[in-house]
Amino acid sequence: MKNLFLSKLESNWMTVKDKRILHKGLHLAITSKDIVHGIEHVMTLRDSYLAFKKAHSSRIKLDERVMAQAIVFHDVWKTQARRSEYFLKVLFEEYFEGSRSADIYRRYAYNFNIDRNVIENVSYAITKHSTGTLFPRRTNEAKLLFDLDELEFFNIERFKKGFNNFKFGVDRKLAAAVTYLKLRSKRGFYFDWSHAMFENRKKRFLEGLDKLRAEISI
């Protein structure tokens, strides 16, 4: 699985150190306690990242090393944490999850002797990927990580998987998802590519929510 992740990335920048830290992060994703933030999620983000790069060729400058580490570690806190099952606590966790994951990443990165500027850029992107960020994202890597991860919220299959994770009312969760979709429609994404992907998913996502609603007959 680890090699499967690495095999599709360009390898000209990849040193032994890079492989070691990516393997560590992938191991944590494979053994994740959280079903929607494990290896499948990391793989999907990588595929979206590759699709983005294909669409933009070299027009947008991205640091491959930073992107790979940021994708692999961005939800590392969720892979290990015992998540709350209660609505308000979940909101609180969502606000701080980026910086919690960045702290864990930093500890591994220092151990693996990763260059300081890489650590700084990866930590920044991870911290800023979480939805509860007050200030705008300033690097391309942070912007793209946010877009890629955000798109996955509107992946109906993944949404269904996470549906039973929390104890708060399912009707509230469905309503929150629709509200969030409307908010995202207005605020958009950083890159046009992401926005187009979002528009593609929107219909299927709403239909999926309707189906879920009918299944549980609210």
Residues near Fe ion (CB under 5 A) are 75, 149
For 87, 157, 215, the CA distances from 171, given in Å and listed in that order, are: 13, 18, 12
Supply the DSSP symbol for 126: H
Nearer to Fe ion, 17 or 99 (CB): 99
What type of residue sits at position 37? H
The Cα–Cα gap between 145 and 25 comes to 16
Q: State the minimum distance, in angstroms, from the CB of residue 153 to Fe ion.
A: 9
Nearer to Fe ion, 53 or 78 (CB): 78
The Cα–Cα gap between 76 and 38 comes to 9
Nearer to Fe ion, 63 or 75 (CB): 75
Q: Give the largest CA-CA distance in the chain.
A: 54
Q: State the minimum distance, in angstroms, from the CB of residue 49 to Fe ion.
A: 12
Nearer to Fe ion, 77 or 193 (CB): 77
Q: State the minimum distance, in angstroms, from the CB of residue 127 to Fe ion.
A: 13
Q: State the minimum distance, in angstroms, from the CB of residue 149 to Fe ion.
A: 4
The Cα–Cα gap between 183 and 116 comes to 36
Q: Which residue is nearest to Fe ion (CB)?
A: 149
> Tokens in use for 111?
């151990």
